[in-house]
Amino acid sequence: MKFANVFVAVIIGATLITLVVMINSFRPAVVTKQPSPEFVRATGKCAECHSRTQYSIVHEFELSVHAEKNVNCLDCHSAQQGQSAQEHYGFEINPHVTAANCRSCHEQEYQQFLRSRHAAPSWAAVSGARDFTAEQIAHAEKFHPGAVDRPPNALAALEGEAAIASGCASCHSVGKPNADGTIGTCTACHTRHTSSVEVARLPSTCGQCHMGPDHSQIEIYTESKHGVMFHAQRDQLNLSAPPNELTTRDMFVPTCATCHMSGLNGMAVTHDPSDRLGYYLFAEITEERPGAARAREEMKAVCMHCHTETIVNRVYEQGDAVVEATNKKIAAVRATMEALRAEGLIVGEPFTNPIEFEYFDLWHYYGRTAKHGAFMGGADFVQWHGNYPILEHAVRIEDEAKKLRSEHAAPDQ
């Protein structure tokens, strides 16, 4: 063989190899990296097509632990009981993935979620019991008496369907019943294709819903020492540590999930964030929950993985005092409101008199905010977004009551 021929053959060979490598590099990683033939067939075909039109979705999936563990597109997109499949480019798919699909592999998380206030109570807070089956109502009522078997929210009804759909429902649909008989949306915290604990552990994930004047948790957290430290040291935290191995070496600064859900240093993970709560802080007048003592011990146990008892007890003692004082302030104004109704000076449906808004803001914004701020390190929220407007609104309402009474007492001429 002549040298020139060998040379040409080597060039052609090298070019072919380069071409194959180049073509391969344009194919999604899910196609090239996955070993299982079943995975390559299903996910490869879906990914090849969809990465052309929805690169972002396929890429998010590629970043997931699911992709790493050979969970494929069809594992989520095939029909479970109660769902219908449709023909889709040679596959049978279910486009509407719900908790039913996640549940097929994560039953334990589903059951914990199902007994939480993120499930049925969330949706019932807006729409009442009407969208649930009798069985679903009975199940949820066992854990949260009165939280599901109730009428639709009066304020939502006044605001109307369009406001409910883009407003209330965007947050409260985390617990909306699905047509397949399951409840809720796991992807509210895990996202649809990343399915990640890292995303679920970010304060901003909870803050999508836990924000604003009536539940300022993200704002409180951001100004707390914990929030400040999180933002300063985020890069040093191991946010993707597997939950059953999570320690304070990974998360030495807490996020919402750490205190309310995580299994820190061997504690059990919970998908029911009520497990560690002692009070109904969101209520007009705050009372202890059933099992408050156990719940408080559990939350304190989380704190104590990072703190000494002294600092933790101080926070709880000060929090208890704010709850008690706020209850007293609100009860006094509530008595005035009830008296005005009894005297016939406030009449008609709820939310039809200006003074009712003053009172609603008093407990629903400022009362809650003061209590939440006290337990989660938000001094500004206890004070300027809490107690100051409580005082201001109390003075206004008492003044308004005086005026209503004197107008009413004036003889008709």
As measured in angstroms, the least distance from the Cβ of 93 to ligand HEC is 5
Chain residues 295-324 in contact with ligand HEC, contact rule CB under 6 A: 296, 299, 302-303, 305-307, 311-312, 315
Residue span 22-41 as binding mask against ligand HEC, x where in contact by CB under 6 A, dash where not: --------x-----------
Q: Of 62, 75, 76, 74, nearest to 34 (Cα)? A: 62
CB of 189 or CB of 397, closer to ligand HEC: 189
73-108 residues labelled b (16+ CB within 10 A) or e (exposed): bbebbbbbeebeeeeeeebebbeebbbbbbbeebee
Helix (H, G, I), strand (E, B) or coil at 208: coil
From the list 34, 40, 110, 363, which residue makes contact with ligand HEC (rule: CB under 6 A)? 110
CB of 88 or CB of 341, closer to ligand HEC: 88
- Helices and strands of the chain, counted as H and E runs: 25, 2
CB of 181 or CB of 243, closer to ligand HEC: 243
CB of 381 or CB of 401, closer to ligand HEC: 381
User: Is residue 364 at the binding interface for ligand HEC, with CB under 6 A as the rule?
Assistant: no
Rounded CA-CA distance 35/33 in Å is 6
Chain residues 55-94 in contact with ligand HEC, contact rule CB under 6 A: 57-58, 61, 65-66, 69, 71, 73-77, 88-89, 91, 93
User: Is residue 115 at the binding interface for ligand HEC, with CB under 6 A as the rule?
Assistant: no
Rounded CA-CA distance 3/126 in Å is 82
From the list 128, 181, 207, 213, which residue makes contact with ligand HEC (rule: CB under 6 A)? 207
User: Is residue 385 at the binding interface for ligand HEC, with CB under 6 A as the rule?
Assistant: no
Chain residues 232-251 in contact with ligand HEC, contact rule CB under 6 A: 240, 242-244, 246, 248, 251
User: Is residue 333 at the binding interface for ligand HEC, with CB under 6 A as the rule?
Assistant: no
Q: Of 252, 242, 322, nearest to 281 (Cα)? A: 322
Long-range contacts of 164-168 (CB under 8 A, 24+ apart): 164/126, 164/127, 168/126
Size of the site for ligand HEC (CB under 6 A): 124
State phi, psi for 405 to the nearest 5 degrees: -70, -40
User: Is residue 258 at the binding interface for ligand HEC, with CB under 6 A as the rule?
Assistant: yes
Amino acid at 285: I
User: Is residue 187 at the binding interface for ligand HEC, with CB under 6 A as the rule?
Assistant: yes
Chain residues 131-170 in contact with ligand HEC, contact rule CB under 6 A: 147, 153, 155-156, 159, 167-168, 170
CB of 155 or CB of 345, closer to ligand HEC: 155
Tokens matching residue 30: 């899910």
Q: Of 57, 37, 42, 27, nearest to 88 (Cα)? A: 42
In Å, how far are 152, 172, 355 from 131, measured between CA atoms? 10, 13, 33
- How many CA atoms within 13 Å lie on the side-chain side of 121? 18
As measured in angstroms, the least distance from the Cβ of 25 to ligand HEC is 18
User: Is residue 375 at the binding interface for ligand HEC, with CB under 6 A as the rule?
Assistant: yes
Tokens matching residue 305: 């993985």
